Amino acid sequence: MSNKATQFKPGQSGNPKGRPKKGYSITEWFKNMLASNPKMKDELGKSIMAKALKGDPTALKLVWNYMDGMPKQTIDATVTTPSPIYDSKSKV
C-alpha cells in the first residue's frame, strides 16, 4: 500500500528545519528581570506580604499558595459498568 516514490529517502528528514523555536514569553522576561535584580525581587515580595497582612484576598492566596502549595482537589467520580446482556440463544 505504501508508495516508495513518495517515502523519505534514507537519511532524509521529514522536518528538515526542526521544531519551531518558542517565542519569548512574559514569564521569561520576569524571571530574567528578577534574577538580574535581587533587590527588586525582595521589594516585590515585601509588597505582596504587606498587602496580605492588610487582608488583600488575592495577596493572601498568593502567599499561602507559595508557602504550602496549591491544595489538592479530589474528584468524586462514580463509574457504573452496565451488566452484559446475554441472548438466551447465544453460547457464552
More confident residue, 78 or 86: 78
pLDDT in tens, 23-62: 778 888 889 999 999 999 999 999 999 999 999 999 999 8
Domain ranges of the chain: 46-70
Residue range 1-24: mean pLDDT, rounded? 73
Asked if the model's pLDDT at residue 84 lies above 90, the reply is no
pTM above 0.85, yes or no: no
Do the beta carbons of residue 40 and residue 33 sit within 8 Å? yes
* Cα gap 62→69, rounded to integer Å: 10
Residue 51 has phi, psi (to 5 degrees) of: -65, -40
pLDDT range class, residue 19, cuts 50, 70, 90: confident
